[in-house]
Amino acid sequence: MLIETLLFLIGLGTLLLGADRLVDAAVALAKDYGVSTFFIGVTVISIGTSIPEIAVTIVSAMNSAGDIVVGNIIGSETTQITLAVGIVALIAPITSKRKDVMMYGGTMVAAMVIMLFAIHSGRITVFESLFMMLTYVFFLYFMYATDGGEEIAEEAEKEVMNHRYFWLVVGLVAVPIGAHLMVESGIVIAEQLGVPQFLIGQLTGIATTLPEIAVAGLAAYQGTAGVSAGSLLGSNITDPLFSIGVAGFVADVIIQNQQAVMSAGIYMVAVSAFVVGIWSWREGIDRPTALLCILLFLPSFFI
């Protein structure tokens, strides 16, 4: 088990490092072409920080580990809307326009509900996967059409652009390698300890949320409210639609521990709706509310 544990940690480190390089490069390139900070947060950063979840779900699906596929996303979603939001708001209170929170927070909850409908039968069909991916593509198109852009930035130097593209490729290579190591070793550890794969998936989901916490926390500290709020909400739209959709499209996703999955999924939707409601009502998350968000994270382990 020592070797599997070491491989798991190496995989996690590779995954997070690759995601970090990928996000940094993607954000820099997006800024070079001049788009709004909230748009960067909801699209570029949220997609970049969701790469670990996407990679883990694909590799898990290919290894017939359906409970890890779903557990990873539910664990990540619940962690982001409670623990991540709480930590970021403790660093610096999050301020957002009510209309943005209602629009993208509502879309986030709807995405989670769509995911629950897809998994409630215990198997995700190809039709359901295509529907989720197309829904996500429509969301991106809607974002670009309504909030995509400002003026195009001046063209960056070719050397600088090449440097950013290089790290973009490094991230794209490192992330799936790290995900493969994590999933393979995680399955072995789960079997040796008698731990349900769904729990391993949830714990993996918590681990892969670290990029979101780091990026949103840094953005909040630097006073970039649009990036901070957009990345937290956008990632929770990407994961249940695109990550699960791709996983179900590349391989059969069959869920074994149906009761645990649905219980955790219902809590995910309930707590997300609650946090979005407070966020919208107060037009932000202050430090007392941040502590409440962190407390809401704790029941996810027991559920």
Query: What is the C-alpha separation between 253 and 250, in angstroms, rounded?
Result: 9
pLDDT tens digits, 79-131: 889 988 998 888 888 888 888 888 889 999 999 999 999 888 888 888 999 99
Q: How many CB atoms lie within 10 A of CB 5?
A: 13
pLDDT tens digits, 48-73: 777 777 877 888 888 877 787 888 78
pLDDT tens digits, 4-28: 888 888 887 887 777 777 677 767 7
pLDDT tens digits, 155-174: 556 666 677 778 877 877 78
For residues 185-212, give the mean pLDDT.
71
**Interior/surface letters 197-227, b for 16+ CB within 10 angstroms, e for the rest:** bbbbbbbbbbbbbbbbbbbbbebbeeebbbb
Q: What is the DSSP letter of 241?
A: I
Query: What is the C-alpha separation between 232 and 250, in angstroms, rounded?
Result: 27
The confidence band for 152, taking pLDDT boundaries of 50, 70 and 90, is very low
Cα end-to-end span (Å), the chain: 27
Query: So what's the pLDDT on residue 147?
Result: 62
Read off the tokens for 77.
């979603």
DSSP output for 66-113: HHHHHHHHHHHHHHIIIIIHHHHHHHS-EE--HHHHHHHHHHHHHHHH
pLDDT above 60 (res 149) = no
In terms of Cα–Cα distance, which of 195, 197, 207 is closest to 83? 207
Residue with tokens 């390139």: 29
Query: What is the C-alpha separation between 67 and 29, in angstroms, rounded?
Result: 36
Give the residue, 146 or 289, on which the prediction is more confident: 289
pLDDT tens digits, 199-243: 776 666 666 676 677 777 777 776 766 667 777 888 889 889 998
> What are the structural domains, with CATH classification, of the chain?
2-302 (1.20.1420.30)
Query: What is the C-alpha separation between 57 and 158, in angstroms, rounded?
Result: 35
Read off the tokens for 178.
């790290």
pLDDT tens digits, 249-260: 888 888 887 888
Read off the tokens for 248.
């179900």
For residues 172-189, give the mean pLDDT.
74
Residue with tokens 């690759």: 18
Query: What is the C-alpha separation between 81 and 99, in angstroms, rounded?
Result: 18
